[in-house]
Structure 1
Amino acid sequence: MGDAFHQIYVQLVFAVKGRQSLIKDSWEIELYSYIGGILKEKGNKPLAINGMPDHIHIFYSHNPNLGISELVREIKKSSNIFINSKGFVLGKFEWQQGYGAFSYNKSAVSNVINYIDNQKIHHQKTSFQSEYKSLLEKFEIEYKEEYLFDWMD
């Protein structure tokens, strides 16, 4: 039997527990590099990682030998340990339960990378709540408000 070939692009989105603004400019690049290392270690190719103080976007080429939920669980667990061991926040850092996973075709890759790279500009006009609901609607994902992230107003 021949080799398996795949081309799967996924954007993950998840938030800091309680939607607290804990991810600081002073250490976000170190966090994003660490998460990129987790992706590579699991056979994925990171394409863009960026976010805001209260949430993160991860865009990567997905290794189909690993389930998305398993990968998210590993990213959250390992990055929690990383952030807490570095003492980046007072108290205990945690990611909120849940995540969004959105798949893209190859023709969208550069647009998604640009979108993620420009998160800080994008969020000058759009809230995370609005952005997340927009993604769910764009991808025609049914949802109930009570099961979305805990929104802080």
Structure 2
Amino acid sequence: MNDPGTFSQIYIQIIFAVKNRNTLISKIWEEELYKYISGIITNKDQKLIAINGMEDHIHILIGMRASCRLSDLVREIKKSSTNWINERGFAQKSFRWQAGFGAFSYTQSSLPNIISYIENQKKHHQKKSFREEYISFLKHYEIKFKDEYLFEWIE
């Protein structure tokens, strides 16, 4: 619950991948997954703005309240969605998200561009791999990283 005198407008894009970058998110049930994740975000009193992804990763844009701990929200999204996917037998094998995530902040004026970017993931990835995309985010935001701490890449 926010303090009545606290006002904020925080926009965060969250990116995380399937364990070992396995291509387990099927077009058949991805919309159901996005709706399920949307419910988690809403139940945590945050605002989902956009969600989309590929068979091996997901992008989520949220409007975040100042009282939210981002790592707790992402942990809950991953834990609950993993259980939901496995309970329904959606993946050919046991489904898991990789450890870690990327989080990138935006101004309100940049939202139309980032929403479009997220909505056009399938078209975007015809030209650029997830690895290239993720590293370009890290470099653009001047986030120092070591390759050994990035996602496990199977290429």
Is TM (by shorter chain) over 0.5?
A: yes
Identical aligned residues as a percent: 54
TM-score (norm 1): 0.97
C-alpha distance in 1 between matches for 2:4 and 2:99:
39
Amino acid at match of 1:65: S
Closer, same or farther: CA 2–66 of 1 in aligned 2, 3 Å: closer
Following superposition of structure 1 onto structure 2, how do residues 34-49 of structure 1 map, counting pairs within 5 Å?
A: 34-49=36-51
Aligned match of 1:115:
117
Aligned match of 1:70:
72
Amino acid at match of 1:23: I
TM-score (norm 2): 0.96
Aligned match of 1:128:
130
C-alpha distance in 1 between matches for 2:4 and 2:23:
48
RMSD over aligned CA atoms reads 1.0
Aligned match of 2:57:
55
C-alpha displacement of 1:85: 0.9
Aligned residue pair count? 153
Aligned partner (choices 106, 109, 115) of residue 108 of structure 2: 106
Amino acid at match of 1:131: E
- Alignment gaps of 5+ in structure 2: none
C-alpha displacement of 1:98: 0.7
